[in-house]
Chains A and B, each alone.
Chain A
Amino acid sequence: MAAVAARGGFGLGRPGWRARGDVVRTVFLARIRIISRYKGAIFMEALLPIVFAAMPVLLGTAFAGPNAAQNFQLNTGTANYKLYMLLGAATFTVVSLMLWLIGYWVRREQETGTLESLYLAPASRFWILTGVTSYAFVRAFSAFLIAIALGSVIFQVNPFENGVGVALLFLALGLLPLWGLAFMFGAFIMKIKEADSVIQVLQWVLAFLIGVFYPLSLLPPFMQTIAGLFPPTVMTDGIRAAILNIGYFYGTGGPYASLAVLFAMALVVPLLGYEVFEVTERRLRRKEGVGQY
């Protein structure tokens, strides 16, 4: 009996699919329970894209005056600059929140001293991270939906005029590479520690590369190339192009080329992200340990 137990463990040692599902669910629920205590955070996340979108709209219209819509159309292909900014800002919130929440989770666990304890648990980190990223996804997507709904009322724009289905496809596909990027980001935070400052600066790097407030064609050619290799850029561009009926970053014949690129990214980036996370984690465990902060 003892030999059987020693060989097979006590059940927890080799969790089956049900136990893995339980790990994801428990982590997810724990995070949701924590955030539900801070309703202000959810409100702010929804408000943020609207404020972000309002600033360039007000700046642009103040200087371009009655020609604002006409000039904007010349540069972007649509005169609906309010919806353009709102979509950009709302998608940016999704990207930023996904990375922010994972980065902060790693850092918080490090600071509170529970990250190392997680490594003693028989649950695989993959499933714990899946729970955290699922929570991040739900929170980010909720913020996106509220921001679009509220922003549409405030800016008096209709986001359902064109291509909502294609836009949702871009969003769904784009979340997969974002998941991978979140893993990479978590690994990076684990390594360098200073989460706050890194997240903040990266947030603006992202906003710059994504082209939250402007078309990528305004960037210098080499910057356009870099931005195009970045999955959130393709996602944001796709969502905006589908809803506003404007040109896509990749290809001229509709959304297919951009979708294909995003699909390829969706295959590669999550695997790459998790690999990076594992390698970083292994190295840290060999050296100072993951709990040091």
Chain B
Amino acid sequence: MNSKIDDKKLHQLELRISSLLRVGVLISGACLLFGWIGQLRQDGELLSTFTTYHPVPLLERMQWALLMRDRSLMMAFIGLMILVCLPVLRVAMTGVLFILQKEYKLGLMAFGVLGALVVSFCLGIDL
């Protein structure tokens, strides 16, 4: 019985976190939209330049955008970064919830997933 009450509480708290994530998606979506419109006005048609694969690391592109004061590109990248970090935030908060509920095994797993996400992100950095 106690476990069922805890489950319901956990469900409600997770629901609140997920509702917060929706706000995050809206913020990142707005950043992406304004950034994209700005880029369109500034540079015009760009899609045809992506037919061949030449990746430029994010940090390099952001440095370039800062140097050139390209606000549109910066805004679009900020939107992308917020978006990608939202599930990470959800996993972290779920882990905290499990720990608070004294569900240590599942809490540990959630933090394991969080660690794996961080490792995965780091793999994208060209050292």
Task: Say whether A and B bind each other.
Answer: no
B residues sitting closer than 8 Å to A (CB atoms) are none
